[in-house]
Amino acid sequence: MHALSIRNLKKVYGNGIQALKGIDLDVAEGDFFALLGPNGAGKTTVIGIITSLVNKTSGEVRVFGHSIDTELNAVKACIGVVPQELNLNTFDRLMNIVVNQAGFYGMPVRRARRRAQEVLEQMQLWDRRDDIARNLSGGMKRRLMIARALVHSPRLLILDEPTAGVDIEIRRSMYGYLRELNESGTTIILTTHYLEEAENLCRHVAIIDEGEVIQHHPMDEFLRTLKQQNYIVNTREPVAEVPVIDGCLIYQRKDYELELAVQRDHDLNDVFAALSEAGVRILSLRNKTNRLEELFFNLTDRSDQVPEEKTEMEE
Amino acid sequence: MRIRAQLITLETLIRKEISRVTRIWVQTIVPPVITMSLYFLVFGNVIGRRIGQMEGFDYMQYIAPGLIMMSVIQNAYGNVVSSFFGAKFQKHLEEMLVAPMPTWSIILGHVAGGVFRGLMVGSVVTVIALFFTGIQIHNIWITVSIVILTAVVFSMAGLINAIFARKFDDISIIPAFVLAPLTYLGGVFYSITLLPEFAQKLSLMNPILYMVNAFRYGMLGVSDIAVGRAYAIILIFILVLFGACTVLINKGIGIRE
Ligand SMILES: Nc1ncnc2c1ncn2[C@@H]1O[C@H](COP(=O)(O)OP(=O)(O)OP(=O)(O)O)[C@@H](O)[C@H]1O
Ligand SMILES: [Mg+2]
């Protein structure tokens, strides 16, 4: 059985924006699934429809076989969701927030308190249980939302950019925890803009762009379709004029730094030879790690916007 | 969801709403109590002495039930409108919407909060009234049932206001332009027998008149209207408003895209 099965899902918002243009998506039970796509692609809209916060225009959504049209309560009981935007009652105490959420799922208060302790400890927030949510840092608020989503032990956990604003150390421990959760049988769907996050955690991936699924693959297969490899090089002298080389796109990142996007079927030797010829002396070379990101720009074909956007994302 | 689990959702929301009222009591309880004390002082004590008797009672005694009822109405309404709209605005209403919580539980939980605050403020205002005048109870059952039922009506009305509200203005417009006039013209300060016939007829179309008078009957034993009719009107309002809340929330009006 699929944890999530979406057929021809469409959404037109009240303002006329067509956010989803007929999406098909299957997520197997037990999977760790990445939903990727640029800003405005429609990821949050999909999640909103699954969690009944957004009304669909047409199409079909099933969660563990239950249709959101006819068995909405069964669907809701299966899902825990961490939204992209903060939706905390910032004046309430952490413990109350989590215990009340359990109560809204129908859990008796004593069990809810025990469960709240477990999830708050897992998210390293137990010390802060009597604090009001407003006093938490941004990353802590996000962890609180994760704790809240887990309190009823959902079979399907949906995380809409859960690590935005979370520091590296906590992020790592969060990854460890999510992996454990997945290994113990929870299906996880995640959206993120940290692409190595998806690469590290997820076994399947779908890319959405402008309301359509443009890729839907196992992660490794997906990485193999990578058409180009990106490198960052540091130069001895500032580069006055970026050379034009066949089979390799070059962006200037800083005075002394270039980014090379080399097509897979091109030899690096040729690229270096051409650079030498143009008078560029290379001091050091490193791989750019965000491989999915490159792929992403290829797939969504926004090559005209690449240079500016990339520098911004990096710095 | 089994009925027991459904009741837990309701219990949870009631607990949450009541703790909200008590947590911010400086905002929820104190201001209305101060306002009402001023009414007693100015209308009852200072001006009331000149007015003399109304329907056979001191003016102060006559308006006490009206002022208690007015504070119950305003606070039941105000509590639900700000709690629900606040939850919408801060988005934590989603906590309830993503959970398999029945619609009636969302409605009744918020109504419970409104009734709680209405009764809290009403009780304190009653105590304050005791400083200015004697309070008598003609029929305790009518008094208590009318005040609770009225609080239920205005809690639901507040909920509907909050459902439709999109910005903060929207939650002050209805109280200022509809609720306040109806309350002030609803027999809080005077008997409609003082009015010319046309104004009397018009007043009889104001539902608040029935609630205030039924409550006054419970306390003083005098009323401009038949108490049975007041119950009928209140019950009809409760049924209609509950139905409206159910439809609106199920359709997701104002709460789902
Ligand atoms: N409430 C709304 N009303 C109208 N249009 C909306 C609403 N929410 C989203 N949209 C539009 O729908 C489209 C998809 O938005 P969505 O939030 O689903 O994108 P996303 O993939 O989650 O983007 P991001 O990575 O920025 O979070 C966008 O064009 C957006 O402007
Ligand atoms: Mg989004």
Angle in degrees, 0-180, between the axes of helices B30-39 and B59-89, rounded to the nearest 10: 160
pLDDT of A312? 35
Query: Which carries the bigger pLDDT value, residue B35 or residue B244?
Result: B244
- Sorted by sequence, the CB contacts under 8 Å of residue A109 that are 6+ apart come out as A99, A103, B8, B11, B12
A residues 84..143 contacting B (CB < 8 A): 85-91, 96-97, 100-101, 103-109
pLDDT band at A171 (very low <50, low <70, confident <90, very high): confident
Out of A172-186, B36-50, B234-248, the most confident range is B234-248
Cβ atoms within 10 Å of B211's Cβ, excluding its own: 29
pLDDT of A296? 63
pLDDT of A299? 64
Whether B212 and B219 have beta carbons less than 8 Å apart is answered as no
Say if residue A27's pLDDT is above 60: yes
Across the range A53-60, mean pLDDT stands at: 94
- Cβ A14–B257 below 8 Å, yes or no? yes
**pTM of the predicted structure, to 2 decimals:** 0.85
Q: What is the distance in angstroms between the CA of the first residue and the CA of the last residue of chain A?
A: 43
- Cβ A54–B256 below 8 Å, yes or no? yes
Query: Which carries the bigger pLDDT value, residue B36 or residue B232?
Result: B232
Q: Of the candidates A51, A74, A106, which has its C-beta nearest B8's C-beta?
A: A106
Whether A69 and A49 have beta carbons less than 8 Å apart is answered as no
pLDDT digits 0-9 by tens, B61-83:
898 999 999 999 999 999 999 99
3-class DSSP state of B205: coil
Taking Cα atoms as reference points, which of A75, A80, A111, A51 lies closest to residue B4?
A111
Q: Is B15 on the interface with A (CB under 8 A)?
A: yes
Say if residue A223's pLDDT is above 80: no
pLDDT band at B56 (very low <50, low <70, confident <90, very high): confident
Across the range A176-184, mean pLDDT stands at: 93
Query: Which carries the bigger pLDDT value, residue A315 or residue B103?
Result: B103
Across the range B182-211, mean pLDDT stands at: 90
- Cβ B95–A101 below 8 Å, yes or no? yes
- Which atom belonging to ligand 1 lies closest to the Cα atom of A211? 14
**Given the DSSP bridges, would you call strands A2-12 and A58-63 parallel, antiparallel or unpaired?**
antiparallel
Across the range A155-166, mean pLDDT stands at: 89
Question: Residue A185, by phi and psi: left (phi above 0), alpha (psi -120 to 50) or beta?
Answer: left
pLDDT of A133? 94
Distance A82 CA to ligand 2 centre (A): 11
How far is the alpha carbon of A96 from chain B, nearest alpha carbon, in Å?
8
What are the residue boundaries of the structural domains of chain B, listed by start? 2-251
Q: Which two tokens stand for residue B125?
A: 């205002």
CATH 3.40.1130.10 is held by the domain A2-223: no
The CA-atom distances, in angstroms, between A262 and each of A95, A233, A258, A269 are 52, 12, 12, 11
Mean pLDDT of chain A: 87
Whether A80 and A156 have beta carbons less than 8 Å apart is answered as yes
What are the residue boundaries of the structural domains of chain A, listed by start? 2-223, 228-297
Percentage of chain B with pLDDT > 90? Answer: 62
Residues lining ligand 1, judged by CB closer than 6 Å? Answer: A 13, 15, 17, 19, 37, 39-45, 84; B 257
Cβ atoms within 10 Å of B153's Cβ, excluding its own: 27
Q: Which fold has domain A228-297?
A: Alpha-Beta Plaits (3.30.70)
The closest ligand to the CA of A36 turns out to be 1
pLDDT of A309? 38
Cβ atoms within 10 Å of B91's Cβ, excluding its own: 16
Tell me which of A134-148, A271-285, A297-311 is least confident.
A297-311
